[in-house]
Copies of this chain bind each other. A is one copy, B any other.
Amino acid sequence: MNNQHVMIDGQHLSIDQVIQVAVKKSEVTITDAAWKKVVDSRRFVEQQMDSENPVYGMNRGVGLNKDRKVDPAHFEGFNRNLILSHCISIDPESSIETVRAAMLIRLNIMLLGFTGVQPQIVRMYQQFLNKHLCPVIHERGSIGAADIGCLSAIGLAMIGEGEVYFNDECMSAREALRLSGLEPVKLGPKDGLAIVSSNALFVGKTVLLIHELERFLKQADLVYALSLEGFDGNVTPLHSHVIQAKKLNGQKVSAKLICDYLENSYLWNGHQRRNLQDPLSYRGAFSVHGSVRDALDYVKGQVRLYLNASEDNPAVLPEERQIISCANYEITSLVQGVEMLNISLSHMARIACFRMIKLANPTFTGLTRFLTPRNQDVLGFATIQKAFAALDAEIQDLCQPVSPHFFSLAGDIEDHATNSIYAVQKSKKIIENLYYIFGMEAMHAAQAIDLRGSIVLGEGTKQAYSRIRQCVPFLNEDRNLSLDMQQMYTLLQESKLLINVMKADV
């Protein structure tokens, strides 16, 4: 897969392509037409740099220092200082995938021609990606009105300072450049700003989140389907006429998937003892999962725009022969989507907890209390409820929005922000907790299925059941459940529950 090329032109970068390059490390090529735009844009910048026309961050300072003229003789020094003074971020370190995503996104947008960066730097992004140089970025230092305090680390590496991972080994940038046959760049006018003034870290993290979440949602639908079988729940809410009557996009997808997973399941054969209708956590779960999909659709729609839209300020417009101050760094529409997604995920988490509580309750299942194999002396899945409740409480806390927490900075100039990075870090923590929670639900479901004895599982759930049982055996004695929980976490985190379930889809 590594030998696939991803061709970019600033206008058509897709979420899948970002994953292709960031995770699967495909090579990146640039279209000729796009390259021409970069060159033209730079030519215009060079024509302007001596002009009396003040341009922010080019022949004038940045931030409050926008009133200070930059002497063309000092462009290199000025831009180097800009990079250095913007190195203000602290732990945690970004993953290599994240940094690759960020570099690709920034690179792609530079091809639109609004940046005016020197072509050599554009090439450097491409080389870093293709030669596997990955600057060490720390994530706390952005308030989400462009990630300038984090992306500076890329500039630092390009001038041969700071640290990079080269083929996954951490070393000085100077050494890595040498080993990969690259020369440090010499910064010119506007280059510093071109490198730092971007939301690429946030957008990159969001793309990775989307990728992770899509795989997780398929597994969540699968665990829910298995849970329905363990519960002996009603499948009438999945009836196609009913789903059609509702029209909601996300829930259509989840309902379809769940029906596929449950193909040939015993659940489709109605029987007497089944409850007339089930608790909402069973009845409506596909719809709540669908709501997460709806939120995710909003996020994806925004990401697609941001992947291919200028974020440069000032924007270079060579054809209009202008370089103008603008607001293209603004990212609120995407951040608010991530925050909606976090809220949405909290619903998914909570009702999964409530489904486990039901599975442990004989009144609902007709099975043993806490799914114990032996009432008299095995406690079974009793205390484990505290584990998922604790994780759910964290999620409820994590889903609080953070974008509103900002104040005025930089001489009162930077008086809007979004805390975008923190918002998506919280999404990531929520997913981590969801792996545990759905892992525990899978443990409950498999145990209930075993206790039920000979029931016919669906085509997909059958596979999932086997996979789970490869990880954790039937609970026939009390044992240290932390170990089982950890196993299941890993299974879901690596998307292995889908193996043999959805063809070619992992």
Contacts and interface: CB of A to CB of B under 8 A. Distances in A.
Interface in A432-452: 436
Contacts of A383: 63, 85-86, 88, 148-149, 152
B245 A280 contact: no
A237 interface: yes
Given A283-B327, A384-B88, A478-B84, A397 B405 contact: yes
Interface stretch (A13-21, A31-39, A284-292): A284-292
Q: Assembly of this chain: how many copies?
A: 4
B347 A309 contact: no
A390 interface: yes
Interface in A346-362: 346-347, 350-351, 353-354, 357-358, 360-361
Interface stretch (A96-104, A116-124, A247-255): A247-255
20 contacts: A54-B276, A56-B277, A66-B275, A81-B379, A84-B478, A143-B386, A152-B383, A241-B315, A248-B333, A279-B415, A283-B327, A284-B329, A295-B333, A340-B340, A351-B415, A358-B415, A392-B407, A396-B402, A397-B402, A407-B408
B393 A422 contact: yes
A291 B332 contact: yes
Given A333-B294, A481-B85, A90 B436 contact: yes
Given A436-B90, A481-B88, A143 B325 contact: no
A147 B245 CA distance: 20
Q: State which size class the interface on A falls in.
A: 35 or more
Interface in A273-328: 275-281, 283-284, 286-288, 290-291, 294-295, 298, 302, 305, 308-310, 313-315, 317, 320, 322, 324-328
B382 A64 contact: yes
A232 interface: no
